[in-house]
Amino acid sequence: MDDLQQIFKKHSYAAKASTAFIYAILVSVAMNFFWTPGKIYASGITGLAQLVSTLLSRYAPFQISTALLLFLLNTPMFVLAWNKIGHRFTVFTFLAVVFSSIMIKAITPVTLTTDPIICAIFGGAVNGFGTGLALRNGISTGGLDIIGLTIKKKTGKSIGTINIIFNAFIVLAAGFIYGWPYAFYSALGLFVNARVMDMVYTRQQKMQVMIVTSRPKSVIDSIQNHMRRGITIVNDVEGAYHHDDKTLLITVISRYEQNELHDAMEESDPVAFVSISENVQIWGRFYEQAL
């Protein structure tokens, strides 16, 4: 058993490292093929690195590349993550940022188009896919993610407002430097990035599940074997068609767990009636797997 656990752990580590490398390739493609030719700024620390690099090239006697600035600006975040979130999490975040810095520098920029709308849409889509893939595999891409996770771990609250303010600053900077139309193009890129990331990273999307079954114990056991979820039981439920005695089970899962729920229902009660409501708001405790 210990040998199997070691093999699984090594496989998991290899998968995370591979995902970090794939993310690095995607963000470098977004940067070198779309954002830089289109004069589009990314979100978060990546956008800040672009902004500082642009300002240095214009007003300072020296220049620092976006790739190097991306690493330098993330360095304090590594220290915060190591102390407040976890060592394994920090190692893979470090890998993602280092790989990104290397690949942004290594991949030769190619100007496919300078149309800012095309560059905003495709750059945002490519980066959003990479970021969502990384988050889905338990890897942070650094920057504001680390601040958000630290605050959420300590207070249970998200920092959506801080993210909005920070990215608004990036958009305004694009307007001042390249002209106000580019502020709107950068905002479009941020929107596309967020939408694609949400499509790929589904752990944060909550779904309420209502199950009407005549085999409640079997269903409960199967669900809890597949995933760690609490279930509310409502007894003495009656079906209106045949007037059979039923039990109503209510739980909340993430969209990421939808396939596991389907497998659990196939095992325990394939004929149960299952209703799923998306985008529910949760108050109270909801288990999330540790990073």
Domain range list for the chain: 2-200, 206-278
Neighbouring-strand partners of residue 278: 207
In terms of pLDDT, which residue wins out, 227 or 191? 191
- CATH number for region 206-278: 3.30.70.120
Query: Which range in 31-45, 239-253, 258-272 is most confidently predicted, on average pLDDT?
Result: 31-45
pLDDT at 232 over 70: yes
pTM, full prediction:
0.74
Encoding tokens for residue 218? Answer: 């079997």
pLDDT tier for residue 87 given thresholds of 50, 70 and 90: confident
What is the average pLDDT score of the chain? Answer: 86
Q: How far is the C-alpha of 196 from the C-alpha of 58, rounded, in Å?
A: 33
Among 18-22, 29-33, 247-251, 285-289, whose mean pLDDT is lowest?
285-289
The number of beta carbons lying within 10 Å of the beta carbon of residue 222 is 19
Q: Which of 60-64, 77-81, 113-117 has the highest mean pLDDT?
A: 113-117
